[in-house]
Amino acid sequence: MTKQYKTAIVFTLVAVFVTSISYILIPKTNFISPKIRPKASEISDFNFIDTNNISQKLSDYEDKTIIFNFWASWCAPCIKEMPILIEAASKYPDTVLIALSSDMTGQAMSAFLDKYQYQSDEHTIFAFDKDQSITAEKFKITRLPQTYILKPGLKTVAHLRGANWSADDLQKILKNQ
Protein backbone atom coordinates (compact mmCIF):
# COMPACT_ATOMS: atom_id res chain seq x y z
CA MET A 1 0.00 0.00 0.00
CA THR A 2 1.17 3.46 -0.82
CA LYS A 3 1.45 6.23 1.74
CA GLN A 4 -1.37 8.19 0.04
CA TYR A 5 -3.65 5.16 0.15
CA LYS A 6 -2.96 4.63 3.88
CA THR A 7 -3.60 8.33 4.56
CA ALA A 8 -6.91 8.14 2.69
CA ILE A 9 -7.98 5.10 4.73
CA VAL A 10 -7.07 6.77 8.03
CA PHE A 11 -8.88 9.97 7.01
CA THR A 12 -11.99 7.98 6.03
CA LEU A 13 -11.98 6.05 9.33
CA VAL A 14 -11.63 9.27 11.35
CA ALA A 15 -14.48 10.88 9.37
CA VAL A 16 -16.74 7.86 9.97
CA PHE A 17 -15.85 7.89 13.68
CA VAL A 18 -16.56 11.61 14.09
CA THR A 19 -19.83 11.32 12.16
CA SER A 20 -20.91 8.37 14.29
CA ILE A 21 -20.13 10.15 17.55
CA SER A 22 -21.95 13.33 16.47
CA TYR A 23 -24.97 11.26 15.39
CA ILE A 24 -25.12 9.72 18.86
CA LEU A 25 -24.61 12.98 20.76
CA ILE A 26 -26.85 15.32 18.75
CA PRO A 27 -30.57 14.92 19.44
CA LYS A 28 -32.48 13.42 16.56
CA THR A 29 -35.74 15.31 17.15
CA ASN A 30 -35.59 19.08 16.90
CA PHE A 31 -39.24 19.77 16.20
CA ILE A 32 -42.49 18.34 17.39
CA SER A 33 -44.81 18.57 14.42
CA PRO A 34 -48.08 20.41 14.94
CA LYS A 35 -49.77 17.22 13.70
CA ILE A 36 -48.14 15.12 16.45
CA ARG A 37 -48.67 17.10 19.60
CA PRO A 38 -47.61 16.08 23.04
CA LYS A 39 -50.27 15.72 25.68
CA ALA A 40 -50.93 19.23 26.97
CA SER A 41 -49.15 19.86 30.23
CA GLU A 42 -49.57 22.85 32.47
CA ILE A 43 -46.65 25.16 33.19
CA SER A 44 -46.52 26.46 36.74
CA ASP A 45 -46.41 30.22 37.25
CA PHE A 46 -43.22 32.21 37.81
CA ASN A 47 -42.05 35.83 37.89
CA PHE A 48 -39.69 37.59 35.50
CA ILE A 49 -38.47 41.16 34.97
CA ASP A 50 -38.88 42.59 31.47
CA THR A 51 -36.54 45.02 29.71
CA ASN A 52 -38.61 47.93 31.05
CA ASN A 53 -37.72 46.72 34.56
CA ILE A 54 -41.32 45.70 35.27
CA SER A 55 -41.94 42.56 37.29
CA GLN A 56 -44.38 40.26 35.52
CA LYS A 57 -45.84 36.79 35.97
CA LEU A 58 -46.42 34.22 33.30
CA SER A 59 -50.00 34.01 34.58
CA ASP A 60 -50.51 37.68 33.60
CA TYR A 61 -50.90 36.25 30.08
CA GLU A 62 -52.79 33.03 30.87
CA ASP A 63 -55.77 34.16 28.77
CA LYS A 64 -53.55 34.40 25.66
CA THR A 65 -51.57 32.05 23.48
CA ILE A 66 -47.94 32.45 24.58
CA ILE A 67 -44.88 31.88 22.43
CA PHE A 68 -42.31 31.35 25.19
CA ASN A 69 -38.81 31.50 23.73
CA PHE A 70 -35.45 30.77 25.36
CA TRP A 71 -32.64 32.51 23.45
CA ALA A 72 -29.28 34.30 23.65
CA SER A 73 -27.59 36.95 21.53
CA TRP A 74 -24.61 34.67 20.77
CA CYS A 75 -26.85 31.86 19.45
CA ALA A 76 -27.01 31.89 15.63
CA PRO A 77 -30.25 29.84 15.40
CA CYS A 78 -31.82 32.20 17.98
CA ILE A 79 -30.94 35.20 15.83
CA LYS A 80 -32.40 33.45 12.78
CA GLU A 81 -35.74 32.63 14.40
CA MET A 82 -36.34 35.87 16.34
CA PRO A 83 -37.94 37.87 13.48
CA ILE A 84 -40.25 34.92 12.72
CA LEU A 85 -41.36 34.75 16.35
CA ILE A 86 -41.93 38.51 16.57
CA GLU A 87 -43.94 38.54 13.34
CA ALA A 88 -46.06 35.58 14.46
CA ALA A 89 -46.86 37.22 17.80
CA SER A 90 -47.91 40.46 16.14
CA LYS A 91 -50.03 38.64 13.53
CA TYR A 92 -52.40 37.03 16.01
CA PRO A 93 -54.23 39.46 18.35
CA ASP A 94 -54.46 37.10 21.34
CA THR A 95 -50.84 35.99 21.14
CA VAL A 96 -47.80 37.25 23.01
CA LEU A 97 -44.10 36.41 22.63
CA ILE A 98 -42.11 36.23 25.84
CA ALA A 99 -38.45 36.04 24.83
CA LEU A 100 -36.26 35.13 27.80
CA SER A 101 -32.56 35.81 27.26
CA SER A 102 -29.86 33.51 28.65
CA ASP A 103 -27.07 35.97 27.88
CA MET A 104 -24.25 36.26 30.40
CA THR A 105 -25.04 39.93 30.99
CA GLY A 106 -28.00 42.21 30.55
CA GLN A 107 -25.73 44.50 28.52
CA ALA A 108 -25.18 41.76 25.92
CA MET A 109 -28.92 41.30 25.57
CA SER A 110 -29.52 45.08 25.36
CA ALA A 111 -26.81 45.48 22.70
CA PHE A 112 -28.48 42.75 20.63
CA LEU A 113 -31.92 44.33 20.97
CA ASP A 114 -30.49 47.73 20.00
CA LYS A 115 -28.61 46.31 17.02
CA TYR A 116 -31.74 44.73 15.55
CA GLN A 117 -34.05 47.48 16.84
CA TYR A 118 -36.19 45.02 18.80
CA GLN A 119 -38.22 46.33 21.70
CA SER A 120 -40.96 45.17 23.99
CA ASP A 121 -44.49 46.08 22.97
CA GLU A 122 -48.01 44.73 23.46
CA HIS A 123 -47.20 41.49 21.60
CA THR A 124 -43.50 41.03 22.40
CA ILE A 125 -41.85 41.02 25.81
CA PHE A 126 -38.09 40.70 26.19
CA ALA A 127 -36.67 39.66 29.55
CA PHE A 128 -33.29 38.65 30.99
CA ASP A 129 -32.90 35.49 33.08
CA LYS A 130 -30.06 36.92 35.17
CA ASP A 131 -29.50 33.95 37.46
CA GLN A 132 -30.83 31.26 35.08
CA SER A 133 -33.49 30.37 37.63
CA ILE A 134 -36.07 29.95 34.89
CA THR A 135 -34.02 28.62 31.98
CA ALA A 136 -31.71 26.17 33.74
CA GLU A 137 -33.47 25.46 37.03
CA LYS A 138 -37.19 25.50 36.22
CA PHE A 139 -37.12 24.29 32.59
CA LYS A 140 -33.79 22.37 32.70
CA ILE A 141 -32.79 23.86 29.34
CA THR A 142 -29.21 23.21 28.28
CA ARG A 143 -29.43 24.01 24.54
CA LEU A 144 -30.78 27.05 22.76
CA PRO A 145 -33.07 28.01 21.20
CA GLN A 146 -36.14 26.36 22.61
CA THR A 147 -39.69 27.57 22.28
CA TYR A 148 -42.85 26.47 24.06
CA ILE A 149 -46.27 27.28 22.66
CA LEU A 150 -48.79 27.62 25.46
CA LYS A 151 -52.51 27.82 24.87
CA PRO A 152 -54.75 29.83 27.23
CA GLY A 153 -54.57 28.32 30.69
CA LEU A 154 -50.78 27.89 30.39
CA LYS A 155 -51.04 24.47 28.77
CA THR A 156 -48.13 23.40 26.56
CA VAL A 157 -49.24 22.36 23.08
CA ALA A 158 -45.86 22.36 21.30
CA HIS A 159 -42.17 22.43 22.13
CA LEU A 160 -39.82 23.52 19.36
CA ARG A 161 -36.19 22.55 19.93
CA GLY A 162 -33.58 24.31 17.85
CA ALA A 163 -34.49 26.41 14.83
CA ASN A 164 -35.33 23.45 12.63
CA TRP A 165 -38.85 24.66 11.83
CA SER A 166 -40.43 27.18 9.48
CA ALA A 167 -42.77 30.15 9.80
CA ASP A 168 -45.45 27.94 8.25
CA ASP A 169 -44.95 25.31 10.96
CA LEU A 170 -45.39 27.96 13.65
CA GLN A 171 -48.48 29.41 11.96
CA LYS A 172 -50.10 25.96 11.81
CA ILE A 173 -49.61 25.61 15.56
CA LEU A 174 -50.92 29.09 16.31
CA LYS A 175 -53.97 28.76 14.05
CA ASN A 176 -55.07 25.71 16.01
CA GLN A 177 -55.13 27.61 19.32
Residue extents of the structural domains in the chain: 1-30, 31-175
**C-alpha to C-alpha distance for 12 and 77, rounded to whole angstroms:** 30
* Backbone torsions φ then ψ of 159, nearest 5 degrees: -135, 110
For the chain, give the longest Cα–Cα distance: 71
51-81: b (≥16 Cβ within 10 Å) or e: beeeebebeebbebbbbbbbbbbebeebbeb
Contact between residue 119 and residue 135 where contact means Cβ atoms under 8 Å apart: no
pLDDT in tens, the chain (177 residues): 777 766 656 555 554 454 444 444 444 433 444 433 344 467 889 999 999 999 999 999 999 999 999 999 999 999 999 999 999 999 998 999 999 999 999 999 999 999 999 999 999 999 999 999 999 988 999 999 999 999 999 999 999 999 889 999 999 999 886
What pLDDT is stored for residue 3 in this prediction? 75
Using left for φ > 0, alpha for ψ between -120 and 50, and beta otherwise, residue 163 falls in alpha
What architecture is the 31-175 domain classified under in CATH? 3-Layer(aba) Sandwich (3.40)
What pLDDT is stored for residue 51 in this prediction? 94
**C-alpha to C-alpha distance for 99 and 38, rounded to whole angstroms:** 22
- Name every residue whose Cβ is closer than 8 Å to that of residue 148 and which is 6 or more positions away in sequence: 43, 66, 67, 68, 156, 158, 159, 160
**C-alpha to C-alpha distance for 156 and 39, rounded to whole angstroms:** 8
